[in-house]
C-alpha cells in the first residue's frame, strides 16, 4: 500500500512539477519519505546500465540510449541529468505501473560519482560503465583517488563492470572482481611515447606508488601504462578501437566496424567506445551500433556553432575545473589548420556553487595554443586576470585581456573573419551565445 501511495505521489508530483517547470528531484524525494526502500520494492527491467566517471557520462548515456532504441528496446533514462537518488527515484516511479513494475527493457542511469553508492543502496546495475577518473571539480571532489574511494562501495559484486583499459586509476576497480569487460584504444597515429600535459597523474602506480612506464599514450596519462613493481598494466581489451584517423574522422572498432566521426575529438572516440561496449554487452549487434553512431551528432549541446560578425565560431564546452576537458579542446584547436582566434571565458567557476578557486587553471596545458595558426587569444570574464597570469607562464603569444564578455564579442564582430573557437564552461557559455551579435547555427 505504501508503495502504491509513493508511486501515486511521485507521478502526481512529477505531473504538477512539469506544469510549473520544477526540477525532477522533488517527487522522488517525497516518494522516498513515504517509502524509503521503494527502489527495492519495485520490479526493475532486466537490464540496468549505470554510467559514471569524470568525463563523458552524458554523451555516453545519450549514445547508449540511441543505440538501444534503434535495437527496438524500450529505454528509460535520466535525460535531464538528475543523477542523485531522488532524481533516480522520480525516473523509476514515473515509469512504473501502480503495481510497481517499471515499463521498460532497459533502465539507463547517468550516475554522479559521489552519490552512486546512495543511488544503488536498494538495487544494483547489471552493467556499470566507468568512463574514466580524472582531476575534476576538485573543489567539490577533493581528488581522483577520493572519488575512487567514493565509487567503490557502489559496485555490487554481481554487477558487471565495463572499464576503460587505458586509464590507470579507474582500471583498478577490476581488482578482485570476476566479471569485467574492457574497452580501449590501440596505438594509433595520434599516440605519443610519453605522457603530455602540465601534470603527470600517470607517473606513479595508483596501486603501489612505484614508477609507471608507458608503451604509448593517447592523451595526458591515458594509454598503455605498466607499473615497474606490482604488474598493474593496461589489460587486454574486449572492445577495441583498432584504428583511428582523427584527421579524416574515421574510427574502426574491432577491426571491422567503421564509424565516421561527426566530432573529431579523442573524447568522442572514448565515449563511442564505452557506448559500444555497453550495448554489445546487452546483446546489440555491431552493425546496429555502427548504423546509429556513424556521423552521430550529440544532442546535448556540448558543441555549438555560430557566426559572430564575419567569424564562423565553434563553442567547445569545457567543464571549468576539469583540466583534461580543457586540454582535449585545446588540442582540438591546435590540430585545426586554418588561421583562428580563440576566446577563453572564465566568469563563474561553477553554476552550482560560488568559489573564487582558480588553481585548476594551472593544471591546464594552455601552451597548446602556441601554434602559428592561432593568431589571437582573448581572455575574458571575471577571472580574466587569473587566466592572464596563467598565460604569462606559457609560450603563447598574442593574447590580450578583455574583461567584459560583451566587449570581447563586439571586438570580434567588428574585425577579422578567421575561424573562432570559444573555450568555456556551461556556467558561462550563454553569456556569449545569448548576445544579439551571436547567431547560433542549428
Partner 1 sequence: MDIRILHFYPDLMSLYGSYANVSVLKRALEALGNTVTVETVTPGGSAEVAGADYLYMGAGTERAQKAALADFVRYGEAVKALAEAGCPMLLAGTAMELLGKTITAADGTVYHGIGLGDFTSQQGTKRFVEDVYGHTELCPEPVVGFMNKCAVISGVETPLLTAVELGYGNEGAKTPEGFRYRNVLASQLTGPLLVKNPRLLDKVVEAVYAYRNQPLTGPVPHDAWTEQGYAITAEQLKLRV
The residues that touch partner 1, with contacts defined as CB under 8 A, are: 135, 138-140, 142-146, 198-201, 203-204, 206, 209, 354-363, 382-383, 385-386, 388-389, 392-393, 401
CB of 346 to partner 1, least distance (A): 11
Q: How far is the CB of 226 from partner 1 (least distance, A)?
A: 16
Output 85 or 349, the one with its CB closest to partner 1.
Answer: 349
Residue 114 or 181 with smaller CB distance to partner 1: 114
Give the count of beta carbons closer than 10 Å to the beta carbon of residue 324. Answer: 25
* CA–CA dist 226, 223 (Å, integer): 10
Closer to partner 1 by Cβ: residue 269 or 361: 361
> What is the C-alpha separation between 199 and 221, in angstroms, rounded?
9
Which residue lies nearer to partner 1 by CB, 11 or 232? Answer: 232
Query: Nearer to partner 1 by C-beta: 204 or 426?
Result: 204
CB of 355 to partner 1, least distance (A): 6
Closest to partner 1 by CB, 145 vs 415, is 145
| Shortest separation between residue 400's beta carbon and partner 1, angstroms | 12
State the nearest-atom distance from the C-beta of 10 to partner 1, in Å: 31
CA atoms of 371 and 355, how far apart (whole Å): 32
* Closer Cβ to partner 1, 268 or 427, answer by number: 427
Beta carbon nearer to partner 1, 86 or 201:
201
Show the cell assigned to 73. Answer: 528496446
In the complex, minimum distance from the CB of residue 173 to partner 1, in angstroms, rounded to a whole number? 16
Q: How far is the CB of 101 from partner 1 (least distance, A)?
A: 38
Q: How far is the CB of 211 from partner 1 (least distance, A)?
A: 8
Amino acid at each position: 500500500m505504501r508503495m502504491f501511495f509513493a508511486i501515486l505521489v511521485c507521478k502526481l508530483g512529477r505531473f504538477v512539477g512539469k506544469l510549473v517547470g520544477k526540477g525532477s528531484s522533488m517527487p522522488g524525494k517525497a516518494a522516498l519519505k513515504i517509502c524509503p526502500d521503494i527502489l527495492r520494492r519495485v520490479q526493475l527491467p532486466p537490464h540496468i546500465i549505470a554510467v559514471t566517471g569524470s568525463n563523458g557520462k552524458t554523451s555516453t548515456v545519450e549514445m547508449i540510449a540511441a543505440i538501444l532504441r534503434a535495437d527496438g528496446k524500450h529505454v528509460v533514462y535520466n535525460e535531464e541529468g538528475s543523477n542523485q537518488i531522488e532524481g533516480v527515484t522520480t525516473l523509476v516511479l514515473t515509469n512504473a505501473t501502480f503495481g510497481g513494475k517499471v515499463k521498460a527493457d532497459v533502465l539507463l542511469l547517468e550516475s554522479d560519482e559521489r552519490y552512486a553508492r546512495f543511488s544503488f543502496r536498494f538495487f544494483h546495475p547489471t552493467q556499470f560503465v566507468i568512463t574514466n577518473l580524472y582531476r575534476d571539480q576538485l573543489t567539490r571532489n577533493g581528488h581522483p583517488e577520493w572519488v575512487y574511494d567514493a565509487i567503490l562501495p557502489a559496485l555490487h559484486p554481481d554487477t558487471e563492470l565495463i572499464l576503460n583499459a587505458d586509464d590507470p586509476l579507474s582500471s583498478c576497480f577490476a581488482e578482485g572482481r570476476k566479471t569485467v569487460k574492457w574497452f580501449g584504444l590501440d596505438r594509433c597515429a595520434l599516440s605519443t611515447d610519453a605522457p603530455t600535459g602540465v601534470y603527470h597523474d600517470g607517473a606513479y602506480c595508483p596501486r603501489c606508488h612505484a614508477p609507471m612506464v608507458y608503451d604509448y599514450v593517447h592523451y595526458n596519462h591515458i594509454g598503455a601504462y605498466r607499473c615497474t613493481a606490482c604488474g598493474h598494466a593496461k589489460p587486454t581489451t574486449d572492445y577495441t578501437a583498432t584504428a583511428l584517423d582523427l584527421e579524416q574522422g574515421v574510427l574502426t572498432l574491432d577491426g571491422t566496424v567503421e564509424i565516421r566521426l561527426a566530432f573529431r575529438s579523442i573524447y568522442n572516440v572514448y565515449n563511442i567506445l564505452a557506448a559500444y561496449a555497453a550495448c554489445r554487452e546487452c546483446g546489440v549487434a555491431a552493425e546496429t551500433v555502427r548504423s546509429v553512431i556513424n556521423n552521430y551528432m550529440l544532442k546535448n549541446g556540448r558543441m555549438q556553432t555560430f557566426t559572430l560578425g564575419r567569424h564562423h565560431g565553434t563553442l567547445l564546452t569545457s567543464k571549468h575545473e576539469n583540466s583534461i576537458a580543457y586540454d582535449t579542446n585545446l588540442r582540438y584547436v591546435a590540430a585545426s589548420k586554418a588561421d583562428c582566434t580563440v576566446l577563453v571565458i572564465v566568469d563563474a567557476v561553477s553554476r552550482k556553487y560560488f568559489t573564487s578557486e582558480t588553481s585548476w587553471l594551472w593544471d591546464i596545458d594552455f601552451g597548446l595554443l602556441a601554434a602559428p595558426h592561432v593568431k589571437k587569444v582573448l581572455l575574458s570574464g571575471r577571472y580574466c586576470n587569473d587566466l592572464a597570469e596563467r598565460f604569462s607562464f606559457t609560450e603563447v603569444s598574442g593574447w590580450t585581456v578583455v574583461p567584459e564578455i560583451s566587449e570581447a564579442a563586439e571586438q570580434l564582430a567588428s574585425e577579422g573573419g578567421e575561424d573562432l573557437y570559444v573555450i568555456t564552461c556551461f556556467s558561462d557559455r550563454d553569456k556569449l551565445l545569448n548576445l544579439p551579435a551571436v547567431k547560433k547555427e542549428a
